Amino acid sequence: MKRFHIFWFRFRRNRAAAGGAVVLAAILALAAFGPVLYDVDPFEMVGRPFMLPFDRYPLGTDVAGRDILAGIVHGARVSLMIGVLASVAATIVGVTFGAVAGYYGGKIDDILMRTTEFFLCIPSFVLAVVLVAIFQPDVVTVTIAIAVVSWPSVARLARGEFISHRDREYVLGCRAIGMPDWEIILLQIMPNALPPIIVVSSLMVATAILTESGLSFLGLSDPNLVSWGYMIGVARTVLRSAWWMAAIPGAMILITVLAINLVGEGLNDALNPKLRK
Amino acid sequence: MRITSMIGIASAMLLTGAVTVADAAQPKKGGTLTYTYHPEPTALSTIATTAVPVALISTKIYESLLEYEGAGLTPKPGLAESWAVSPDQLTYTFKLRKGVKWHDGKDFTSEDVKFSIGTIALKYHSRGKTYFSNVADIETPDAHTVILKLNAPVPYLLRAFQPGETPMMPKHAFSEQEIAEKKVRKAKVMQNPIGTGPFKLKEWSKGSHIILERNANYWKPGKPYLDQIVLRVLPDGAARAIAVEKGEVDLAPMTALPPPEIQRLSKLPSLVSSQEGSEGLGPVMWLEVNLREKPLSDVKVRQALSLAIDRKKLVDVIWYGMGKPARGPIVSSNPNHFDKTLPAFEFNPKKAEEMLDEAGYKRGANGKRFKLTQNFLPYGEEWVRQGEYIRQAFSKIGVEVDTQSLDMGGWLKRIYTDWDYNYTSNFTHNYSDPTIGVQRAFISTNIRKGASFSNSMNYASPKVDDLLKKAAALPDGPERKKVWAEVQQTIRADLPVIFLIEMGYTHIWNKRVHGLITNGVSMYSGWDSVWVD
C-alpha cells in the first residue's frame, strides 16, 4: 500500500500524465457504457448517406447512411479491446522469451534472441498485413497478428533486465538456498524487472491501436465489426466531399493514442524515478 | 421588342443547329483519349478471359465480321460486306471485304475466319460453345467467302460477331505447335496482338498504362480519328475520380468510379455522365445460394430471405440510384425476352419471419434462428457496403450472418471450385440474348467444378433444363418469348439465387470526347469514330 502511495504521488505530480489518465478514463467509459447508453446498431442504415453532423444525427451519417456516432461508440470497444489484448499477449510472450533468455544465457539465449531478431528485422506493419492476409481477417487473427509483430521489443527489454538482475546478491542468495529456477524468475526477479516492462507495454497499446487502424483502413479487419480504422477506410474515397467522415474517427484515434502515451510517460516517471535524472 | 426576341430565338436556334451539325459532321482528327478502369486487364484478348477490363481494351485491337447499331444491336457490315441467311436458317454466307490487312501487313482472308471460329472461338472463348457448337462445317470457296453450315438453327447467331465475342485472329501468327499443344492462350501473338482493328498495341507497362496507337492502314478511309488510346491503371477509386475531375483521364467507363464520386462528378459542367450504351450487356445482380446444405436448400427459407431485402433502399443508398430492383434473371430493358407480368420482389420482413417459423426455423432463446456465412464479390467497396446491409437485413428476421472477406482468387476458388459457401453476391451479364448470358447460370449441365460464373448453386431443375434447350433452338418470336417467360417464372418460384438489382452502368467522360455512345455495347466497340476536341 505504501508503495502504491509513493507511485500515485509521483504520477500525479506529472500534470500531463494526470490529464492523459482522465481522458483515457473517459474513453474507457465510452467503450464500456457507450453502446448501452447509445443503443444504435453501427451497421444500421438509419437514413440518407452524407448527412451533416448536428443535423438529425449528432455526428451525421456515413457513405451508406449509417450513424457515425454509433460507429464511434461501438468502434471504441473494438479498437481498445484489440489494442489491450494484443499488447497483453505480446507482453506475456515477450517477457517469457526475454526472461528465459536473460536468466539462462548461453545457447538458450542465442536461440531465443536469434528468433526474436528474425521478427525484428521484418518491418512490423508489413508482417502484420501478410499475416492477416494469409489467415482470414477476423478479430482473433488481427489481434494475434498485432501481438506477433509487437512482442520482440518486449523480449529484448526483458532480457536486458534479467541479465542485469541474475547475478545480483539476492538472486545468488536464492540459488544458495536451493530455490527452483522458475521460482527465482517469477517471484524474485520479475517484480524487480517489471516497471520498465509495464511502461513499454502500456505504450504498446497505443501502437496496437494504430496498427489495427492501419489494417482496417486497408480493408484487412473483421468485416463483422466496426472499428475506428474501418470508419476511416470507409470514408477515404469521399475524403474531398465529406472530410468530417474520416476526421471524426481520426480524431478519436489521435486523442486515445495521445492519452495512452501521456499515461505511459507518467508511469515511466513514477516507476523509474532514477531514470529521470 | 417582340420581333427582336423572335430574331433572337431564331438565331439561337440557328446557332444550336449549326453547333449540332458541326458536332456530328466535323470530327477532328488526332489527339489522345485516356480512360481508366480497375482492375488492370490480365490479357489483351477475350479468348483468354472475357472479364470487363480485357473486353474493354481488346475490342479496339480486334474486330469481328459484323458491326452493330443502336441499343438493340442491329447488325451492319463490318469485315463482312454482306451476309445472307438461308430460309431454313442452316446456312450463313458471309462475303468478306477486300483489301483488309492485318496489323503486320498480311491480307485478311476467309481462312482466318474459319480459323477464328472453328479453332479459336469454339474451343477457347468462354461463350464459343453457346454460339458455334451447332456448326457442322465451315466452307471457304474462295478467299473472300465464308459459309457456315449448321446442324440446327441458332437464332442468336448473328449477334455472335462482335469484336469481344468472336474476335478475328490471324491464322498465320499462330504456330502449328501452339495449336496442337493447346497453348493458344499462351501463344506469342496473345502478348503482341495482331488484329485488323482501328488501333494496335504500342506499349504495355504493367501496373501503369497501356498505349494503343492509330492503325494507319485501317480499312475505313480516314478512320480512326484518334491518334492514341491510353489506359491508365489507377487502383484507388478516389485517385481515379480525381484524375477524371482534373481532366488527366477523359473517360471512366462502366461504373469505374465509386458511386458517391460518380454522383459528385455527374454535376460538374466539364463532364458528361450517361447510363446509355450498355443495353446489350444487361447486368443482373443476385445472391448466389449454395443449395447443397440446409437450411438454404429449403425454398421457403430462400423466399423468406428474399422478403427481408429492401431492394429500393439497396439501389438508393448503396448504389446511389444507379440501377433498379431486379424482377428476375432477365433485365426488364430487354423487350424481346423479359416477361412483363413479373411483379417486383416484395419487401416484407414480417412475412419473412412467418415463413421461417412455418419452415421450422423458430427463433431460439437468443433470438436467432440459424447462422450463415456470407461472401461478397471482391470488386470494390460498394460490394462490402452491400454485404453489410444484407447482414443487417437478415439479422432483423433472426438470421445471424458472418461475413468472410476474400480476394478475387480466393473468392473464385471458394465459390466455383470448392463450392464451400452459403451465399455470395455476384452479377452476370445477360448479353444480347438470354441463351448466351442467362442459360449458363441455371442449366444443370453447367454444374462444373472450376468453371467461373457457372451454376455454382447446384440448381438442377429438369423443367428449366428442357425449357432452356427449347429456347436455344427457337427463333425470336412469340413462341420463344413464351418459353422464356416460363423460364423466368420457374426460376423465380425456385429462387436458386436471390435476385437483387439490375445494375446501371454509368460512364463518365470529359466534354472534349465525342461519339462514344454508338450501340448497346458501346464500350466494347472499336471507337474508330470517337474524336476529341
Whether B423 maps to a domain, the answer reads yes
Backbone angles phi and psi of A99, in degrees to 5: -65, -50
Chain B contacts in chain A segment 162-221 (CB below 8 A): 219
Q: Is A63 on the interface with B (CB under 8 A)?
A: yes
Q: What is the CATH number of the domain that holds B335?
A: 3.10.105.10
- B381–A234: do the CB atoms touch at under 8 Å? yes
Residues of A in contact with B241 (CB under 8 A): 237
**Mind telling me how many Å the CA of A139 is from chain B's nearest CA?**
12
Is there a contact between B254 and B278 (Cβ–Cβ < 8 Å)?
A: yes
Q: Which of A133, A136, A237 sits opposite B258 (nearest CB)?
A: A237
Q: Which of A45, A224, A236 sits opposite B313 (nearest CB)?
A: A45
**Mind telling me how many Å the CA of A65 is from chain B's nearest CA?**
7
Cα–Cα separations (whole angstroms), residue B31 to B61, B117, B522 = 18, 35, 20
Contacts of B168 (CB under 8 A, 6+ apart): B62, B63, B64, B65, B79, B108, B112, B113, B116, B195, B196
- B403–A223: do the CB atoms touch at under 8 Å? yes
Residues of A in contact with B258 (CB under 8 A): 237-238
**Mind telling me how many Å the CA of B49 is from chain A's nearest CA?**
26
Cα–Cα separations (whole angstroms), residue B308 to B346, B354, B478 = 9, 12, 35
How far is the C-alpha of B220 from the C-alpha of B526, rounded, in Å? 12
pLDDT in tens, chain B (533 residues): 344 444 444 444 444 443 333 445 589 999 999 999 988 888 899 888 787 889 999 999 999 999 999 888 899 999 999 999 999 999 999 999 999 999 999 999 999 999 999 999 988 888 888 899 899 999 999 999 999 999 998 888 999 999 999 999 999 999 888 888 888 888 888 889 999 999 999 999 998 999 999 999 999 999 999 999 999 999 888 889 999 999 999 999 999 998 888 988 999 999 999 989 888 899 999 999 999 999 999 999 999 999 999 999 999 999 988 899 999 999 998 888 999 999 999 999 999 999 999 999 999 999 999 999 999 988 778 898 999 999 999 999 999 999 998 877 788 889 998 999 999 999 989 988 899 999 989 999 889 887 778 899 999 999 999 999 999 888 888 999 999 999 999 999 999 999 999 998 999 999 999 999 999 999 999 999 999 98
How far is the C-alpha of B283 from the C-alpha of B501, rounded, in Å? 9
Whether B461 maps to a domain, the answer reads yes
Contacts of B213 (CB under 8 A, 6+ apart): B199, B200, B202, B227, B228
Q: Which of B237, B317, B405 sits opposite A49 (nearest CB)?
A: B317
Write out A27-89 in H/E/C secondary structure: HHHHHHHHHHHCCCCCCCECCCCCCCCCCCCCCCECCCCEEHHHHHHHHHHHHHHHHHHHHHH
Instruction: Tell me how crowded residue A134 is: count the other CB atoms within 10 A of its CB.
Output: 10
Q: Which of B264, B318, B385 sits opposite A241 (nearest CB)?
A: B264
Measured between CA atoms, the residue of chain B closest to residue A224 is: B403
Residue-wise pLDDT tens digits, B466-505: 999 999 888 888 999 999 999 999 999 999 999 999 998 9
Chain B residues whose C-beta is within 8 A of a chain A C-beta are 237-238, 241-242, 258, 260-261, 264, 313, 317-318, 320, 381, 384-385, 387-389, 391-392, 402-407
- A64–B260: do the CB atoms touch at under 8 Å? no
Q: Which of B261, B391, B405 sits opposite A136 (nearest CB)?
A: B405
**Mind telling me how many Å the CA of A224 is from chain B's nearest CA?**
6
Number of domains forming the structure of chain B: 1
Instruction: Among A40, A45, A130, A140, pick the best mutation site for testing chain B contact (most B Cβ within 10 A).
Output: A45
**Mind telling me how many Å the CA of B316 is from chain A's nearest CA?**
9
Contacts of B239 (CB under 8 A, 6+ apart): none
Q: What's residue A4's pLDDT?
A: 80
Residues of B in contact with A74 (CB under 8 A): none
Residues of A in contact with B264 (CB under 8 A): 241
Is there a contact between A61 and A48 (Cβ–Cβ < 8 Å)?
A: yes
Whether B80 maps to a domain, the answer reads no
Give the residue numbers spanning the domain of B450: 283-503
Residues of A in contact with B261 (CB under 8 A): 237-238, 241
How far is the C-alpha of B233 from the C-alpha of B209, rounded, in Å? 6
Q: Is A136 on the interface with B (CB under 8 A)?
A: yes
How far is the C-alpha of B94 from the C-alpha of B110, rounded, in Å? 9
Q: Which of A45, A238, A239 sits opposite B389 (nearest CB)?
A: A45
**Mind telling me how many Å the CA of B212 is from chain A's nearest CA?**
30
Q: Which of B320, B392, B404 sits opposite A43 (nearest CB)?
A: B392
Here the cell at position B419 is: 463450392
How far is the C-alpha of A245 from the C-alpha of A229, rounded, in Å? 12
Residues of B in contact with A239 (CB under 8 A): 238
Whether B351 maps to a domain, the answer reads yes
Residues of B in contact with A139 (CB under 8 A): none
Whether B336 maps to a domain, the answer reads yes
SS3 assignment, position B164:
coil
Instruction: Annotate A158-176 with b (16+ C-beta within 10 A) or e (fewer).
Output: bbebbbebbeeeebeebee
Instruction: Among B244, B316, B371, B381, pick the best mutation site for testing chain A contact (most A Cβ within 10 A).
Output: B381
Backbone angles phi and psi of A69, in degrees to 5: -60, -40
**Mind telling me how many Å the CA of B297 is from chain A's nearest CA?**
25
Residue-wise pLDDT tens digits, B334-349: 888 999 999 999 999 9
**Mind telling me how many Å the CA of A222 is from chain B's nearest CA?**
8
Residues of B in contact with A141 (CB under 8 A): none
Whether B442 maps to a domain, the answer reads yes
Which pTM was predicted?
Answer: 0.78
Residues of B in contact with A45 (CB under 8 A): 313, 317, 389, 392
Q: Please list the alpha-helical segments (H only) found in B365-477.
A: 381-396, 408-412, 434-437, 439-442, 462-473
Give domain limits for chain A: 2-43+55-275
Whether B251 maps to a domain, the answer reads no
Instruction: Tell me how crowded residue A58 is: count the other CB atoms within 10 A of its CB.
Output: 13
Residue-level length of chain B: 533
- B238–A240: do the CB atoms touch at under 8 Å? yes
How far is the C-alpha of B199 from the C-alpha of B62, rounded, in Å? 8
Q: Which residues of chain A have pLDDT under 50?
A: 277
B449 exposure class (CB count in 10 Å sphere: 0-12, 13-18, 19+): exposed
**Mind telling me how many Å the CA of B160 is from chain A's nearest CA?**
39
Whether B13 maps to a domain, the answer reads no
Predicted ipTM of the assembly: 0.74
- A50–B260: do the CB atoms touch at under 8 Å? yes
Cα–Cα separations (whole angstroms), residue B220 to A133, B198, B217, B525 = 50, 9, 9, 15
Residues of B in contact with A50 (CB under 8 A): 260
Is there a contact between B268 and B288 (Cβ–Cβ < 8 Å)?
A: no
Backbone angles phi and psi of A93, in degrees to 5: -65, -45
Contacts of B289 (CB under 8 A, 6+ apart): B296, B302, B422, B423, B457, B495, B496, B497, B498
Q: Which of B238, B392, B402 sits opposite A236 (nearest CB)?
A: B238
How far is the C-alpha of B420 from the C-alpha of B286, rounded, in Å? 18
**Domain A2-43+55-275 is of which CATH architecture?**
Orthogonal Bundle (1.10)
